[in-house]
Amino acid sequence: MTQFSRRSLLRMTGAAATVLAAPAVLTRRAWASDAIEVGSLHDSSGSHSIYGKEMNDAIQLAVEEINAGGGVMGRQLNLTTFDTGSNMQNYAQFAQRLVTSQNADVVFGGVSSASREVIRPIFNRYKTLYFYDTFYEGGVCDKNTFVMAETPAQMIGPALEKVVKENNVKTIYSMWADYNYGHICSTWLEKFAQELGATVVAKEFFPLDVTDFSATITKIQNESPDLVVSGLVGGNHIGFYRQWPAAGMLGQIPLHCNVFGPWEKNLLQAEEIEGLTASYHYFQGIDTPANEAFLKKWAAKFGEDHDEIGTLAVCSYNAINIWKKAVEQAETLDRDALVEALETGISFDGPGGTMQVDPQTHHAIMSTVVAEVRDGKFEIIQRNEDVKPLDTSAVCDLIANPNQSTQYQP
């Protein structure tokens, strides 16, 4: 049986209560009438709550820190947080409320790519600056949108290179979630693999509610690839990573995952995922003074027994601090002036290292790390500095052509 921390159980029961009730809206009223309105749209309940909750927590922590430090341009931030409940209709409804009744100056939100594509047009229509802080499939090219999280060129490419070279990989069997993220990332994987001299011999796509992978494991055993790459999402993880060792496959074939993080690891036993590798901008085990200080602040707010956090929390935390620096540089909340400020390449030194805005793509240049699960912990095995979103920069140039609002695909 999976071991759950007390905090995990409280989180799950709290999320269940929210699902049964109407979607929650938590509003903290401003200390002053001229407060800056900040919106947050994250899944604190529903199928994506294991990702959305830490993002929402990070935004709250950052806002409290900023307000305690005097706010932005001497004005406090008024944070309005909606729990979107992993429901696309909620995203549309609450995004509309943020830009109309709340008059939000900036919004941070969206967990899945689907949720981003529901709300991005709404913020464009109302010219409300929008930050998306979830690792994703790349290609969004939008004057109004800033993506402060990993793309395939930053998290799949460098990690695949290390795993392929270390294990002399020639053949790869891949599995993906059956939606936008999985299909586009599978194409990037093929490109990166080909550049490394490896071949993707199989691509399987699974709906998010699939939990039985016995047939796929049999196919993998018959194919006998040099590497298995998983791009499964949410509940898919739990089913596959429990059935993989049960079939005697743990340690038989190297296993790399493009999505696996502490959110899933917290729900599995250490022996079920030993040796699995993953790559992000941030893992909690990064050993730097900046991360140590951040974790102390996190524990002070959310308790010493908080669940292990991951890159989603830190990318969200970085994003609001990058926005703060842009406002202070522009000395205004005007959307166009803030875009110009962000396009100067504003950076923030966060818990995972420096994150800088790439003017051409409105994405982030960042360090990334590759980690391997050892005795239930993510151990850092490689660090890559100043990794650029080359997948998106290959198709998007918002300096040369700023009037874009699209998503390019490879």
157-186 pLDDT per residue, tens = 999 999 999 999 999 999 999 988 899 999
More confident site: 21 or 134: 134
Give pLDDT, residue 14.
42
Q: What is the DSSP string of 74-106?
A: TB-EEEEEEE-TT-HHHHHHHHHHHHTTS--SE
What is 136-177 written as a DSSP string? ----EEETTEEE-S--HHHHTHHHHHHHHHHHT--EEEEEEE
Within-domain flag for 304: yes
The pLDDT of residue 77 is 98
Q: How buried is residue 292: exposed, middle or buried, by Cβ count under 10 Å (0-12/13-18/19+)? A: exposed
What does pTM read for this prediction?
A: 0.89
Q: Is 31 helix (H, G, I), strand (E, B) or coil?
A: coil
Residues 50 and 24 in one domain: yes
Question: Alpha helices, DSSP H only, in 208-365?
Answer: 214-223, 235-246, 262-265, 289-302, 311-330, 335-342
32 and 99 assigned to the same domain = yes
Indicate the residue type of 354. T
Q: Which of these ranges, 26-35, 115-124, 155-164, 345-354, has the smallest mean pLDDT?
A: 26-35
Q: Are 59 and 167 contained in the same domain?
A: no
Q: Answer yes or no: do 145 and 27 share one domain.
A: yes
Is 264 inside any structural domain? no
- How big is the chain, counted in residues? 410
Q: Are residues 229 and 313 in the same domain?
A: no
Task: DSSP letter for 272, please.
Answer: G
Contact between 319 and 133 (Cβ < 8 Å): yes
Residue with tokens 């429990």: 242
Task: Say if residue 205 is in the same domain as residue 229.
Answer: yes
Cα 195 to its chain centre, rounded Å, is 26
Nearest to 211 by CA among 181, 170, 168, 244: 244
For 12, the domain range is 6-151+285-368+384-407
Nearest to 396 by CA among 177, 145, 79, 121: 145
- Smallest CA-to-CA distance from 196 within 214, 215, 171 is with 171
Answer yes or no: do 292 and 232 share one domain: no
Same domain assignment for residues 166 and 226? yes
Q: Is the pLDDT score of 294 beyond 50?
A: yes
Eight-class DSSP state of 309: P
Give the pLDDT of residue 179: 86
Are the beta carbons of 102 and 130 closer than 8 angstroms? no
Q: What is the CA radius of gyration of the chain?
A: 21
Q: Which two tokens stand for residue 220?
A: 């993998």
Candidates 240, 244, 263, 227; CA nearest to 177 is: 240
Q: Are residues 12 and 130 in the same domain?
A: yes
Q: What are the DSSP calls for 321-373, one per residue? A: HHHHHHHHHHTS--HHHHHHHHTTT-EEEETTEEEEEETTTTEEEEEEEEEEE
pLDDT of 20 reads: 32
Cα–Cα distance, 265 to 275 (Å, whole number): 12
List, for residues 120-130, the tens digit of each pLDDT value. Answer: 999 999 999 99
Determine the Cα angle at 248 with ends 243 and 251, to 5°.
100
Of 237, 174, 230, nearest to 209 (Cα)?
237
CA distance 83 to 94: 9
Which has the closest alpha carbon to 205: 174, 228, 234, 226?
Answer: 174
CATH no. for residue 32?
A: 3.40.50.2300
135 inside domain: yes
Residue 115, domain member (yes or no): yes
Domain end call among 240, 257, 274? 257
Look up tokens 């994703």; give the residue.
Answer: 136
Residue 45 within any structural domain of the chain: yes
Residue 191 pLDDT grade (very low, low, confident, very high; cuts 50, 70, 90)? very high
Considering the domain architecture, whether residues 226 and 135 belong to the same structural domain is answered as no
Q: How far is CA 203 from the centre of its chain?
A: 23
Mean pLDDT of the chain: 90
Q: Is residue 263 part of a domain?
A: no
Last residue of a domain, one of 219, 242, 257: 257
Let me know whether 17 and 143 are in one domain: yes
The separation between CA 392 and the C-alpha centre of its own chain, rounded to angstroms, equals 16
**Dihedral of alpha carbons 201, 136, 95, 262, sign:** positive
Are residues 119 and 36 located together in one domain of the fold? yes
Domain count, the chain: 2
Give a yes or no: residue 266 inside a domain. no
Given 217, 241, 257, the domain boundary residue is 257
The answer to the question of residue 335 being in a domain is yes
Q: What is the pLDDT of residues 55-112, one digit of tens each?
A: 999 999 999 999 999 999 999 999 999 999 999 999 999 999 999 999 999 999 999 9
Cα–Cα distance between 168 and 357 in angstroms, integer?
35
In sequence order, what are the beta bridge partners of 109?
41
What pLDDT, in 10s, does the model give residues 198-208? 999 999 999 98
